[in-house]
Amino acid sequence: MTDKRAIGVFDSGVGGLTVYRALRAALPQEDFVYLGDTARLPYGTKSGETIKHYAAQAAARLREEDVKLLLVACNTASAQALPDLRERHPDIPCLGVVEPGARAAAGSSATGRIVVLATEGTVRSGAYRDAIHRLRPDAQVRGLACNLLVALAEEGWCEGLEAEAIVSRYVRQLGDDPFDTLVLGCTHFPLLAATLRRLLPSSVAVIDSAQTTARAVTAYLAEHDLEQSEKGRSGRNLFLVTDAPERFLLLAQRFLPEIDVNGVELVALRNA
């Protein structure tokens, strides 16, 4: 069996490109449509109802591309809107980035003491805590909102004195908490993983939800006979944004240095 339709990837802006990069590496034969809601980012500080509304519009637009699977590559939207999207679109698989990251964290931690670095909205939702507790009820999960790390990633300031100063200030807020696993609960944060790694004890496992999500999508496609099985093909990329395609293209070159992003299409989202 083969399914030649594209995979739809939705994010509030450019952070989801870290997930897209992992997906493209894992599934080079697949076609992808990426939609970044750049007109209304960031989602991390907005209310749950607003995020659900925005996510519904994005999903409706991706359905116009006849996608076979919808991946919500934004942690905040995954945390706040995924159940609503599944209810609205029962005929299409809707996956998020929270569950794969939570599963990896629960399996990695020896002590059950887990820290989730995320945006304010994701921490406030408690989505990672709840997902980890479903897998491991004894876990002690602490969320830390790190909104400034989003700006650092988008500016490309992921290394050097400025990055280390800001990242270390967040790390110091964890005090003497003896956690052994840290989840990068925002799609921007993998760009800062090297700086975080230098500031954390070597015994702490760092979970990149982009990589865990790519593995989850790959497994889902295989299990449900949705793979594009043509051997040796190079999948096509379509990038859609709701505002500022020039800025998106500039940032995409930072997030996707190994992928040729030739063009970006400006689209308008309608009420779903």
Q: Mean pLDDT across the stretch 108-137?
A: 96
Q: Mean pLDDT across the stretch 123-134?
A: 96
Residue 76: give its domain's CATH number. Answer: 3.40.50.1860
202 and 121 share a domain? Answer: yes
106 and 171 share a domain? Answer: yes
Using CA atoms, how far apart are residues 222 and 197, in angstroms rounded to an integer?
A: 33
Q: Mean pLDDT across the stretch 239-248?
A: 95
Look at residue 271 in the predicted model and tell me its pLDDT.
86
Using CA atoms, how far apart are residues 105 and 184, in angstroms rounded to an integer?
A: 10
Query: 209, 236, 254 — which closes off a domain?
Result: 209
129 and 181 share a domain? Answer: yes
Q: Is the Cα dihedral 98, 102, 108, 109 positive or negative?
A: positive
81 and 128 share a domain? Answer: no
Cα diameter, the chain: 53
Query: 209, 225, 245 — which closes off a domain?
Result: 209
Q: φ, ψ for residue 135 (rounded to 5)?
A: -90, -30
Predicted confidence (pLDDT) at residue 259 exceeds the cutoff of 90: no
**Rg of the chain taking only CA atoms, in angstroms:** 18
Q: Is residue 244 part of a domain?
A: yes
Q: Mean pLDDT across the stretch 13-25?
A: 94
Q: Is residue 162 part of a domain?
A: yes
112 and 200 share a domain? Answer: yes
Identify the residue whose tokens are 């593995």.
215
Predicted confidence (pLDDT) at residue 258 exceeds the cutoff of 90: no
Query: 166, 193, 209 — which closes off a domain?
Result: 209
Tokens found for residue 62: 């991706």
Q: Mean pLDDT across the stretch 161-185?
A: 96
List, as one string, the DSSP characters of the chain. Answer: ----SPEEEEESSSTTHHHHHHHHHH-TTS-EEEEE-TTS---TTS-HHHHHHHHHHHHHHHHTTT-SEEEE--HHHHHHHHHHHHHH-TTS-EEESHHHHHHHHHHH-SSSEEEEEE-HHHHHHTHHHHHHHHH-TT-EEEEEE-THHHHHHHHT--SSHHHHHHHHHHHHTTTT----EEEE-STTGGGGHHHHHHHS-TTSEEEEHHHHHHHHHHHHHHHTT-----TT----EEEEESS-HHHHHHHHHHH-TTS-----EE------
Residue 74 annotated as catalytic: yes
Distances (CA, A) of 139 to 96, 102, 108, 109: 22, 11, 12, 9
Res. 260 pLDDT band, cuts 50 70 90: confident
Domain that holds residue 83: 7-96+211-266
Tokens found for residue 195: 């700086």
Look at residue 3 in the predicted model and tell me its pLDDT.
92
104 and 205 share a domain? Answer: yes
- Catalytic residue of the set 74, 94, 146, 158: 74
103 and 182 share a domain? Answer: yes
Look at residue 254 in the predicted model and tell me its pLDDT.
84
Predicted confidence (pLDDT) at residue 37 exceeds the cutoff of 90: yes
171 and 194 share a domain? Answer: yes
Look at residue 109 in the predicted model and tell me its pLDDT.
98
**For 41-55, how does the pLDDT look when each residue is reduced to its tens digit (9 = 90+)?**
888 889 999 999 999
**For 80-117, how does the pLDDT look when each residue is reduced to its tens digit (9 = 90+)?**
999 999 999 999 999 999 999 999 999 999 999 999 99
**Across all residues in the chain, what is the average pLDDT?**
94
Total count of domains within the chain: 2
The larger pLDDT score, comparing residue 132 to residue 250, is at 132
Q: Is residue 135 part of a domain?
A: yes
105 and 20 share a domain? Answer: no
Using CA atoms, how far apart are residues 188 and 190, in angstroms rounded to an integer?
A: 6
Q: Is residue 252 part of a domain?
A: yes
73 and 108 share a domain? Answer: no
The larger pLDDT score, comparing residue 62 to residue 229, is at 62
73 and 114 share a domain? Answer: no
Res. 1 pLDDT band, cuts 50 70 90: low
Q: Is residue 1 part of a domain?
A: no
The larger pLDDT score, comparing residue 233 to residue 92, is at 92
Q: Is residue 149 part of a domain?
A: yes
**For 210-223, how does the pLDDT look when each residue is reduced to its tens digit (9 = 90+)?**
999 999 999 999 99
Look at residue 229 in the predicted model and tell me its pLDDT.
80
Q: Is residue 272 part of a domain?
A: no
Q: Is residue 271 part of a domain?
A: no
List Cβ neighbours of 84 (8 Å cut-off, separation of 6 or more): 52, 55, 56
Q: φ, ψ for residue 257 (rounded to 5)?
A: -60, -25
226 and 199 share a domain? Answer: no
Q: Mean pLDDT across the stretch 176-189?
A: 95
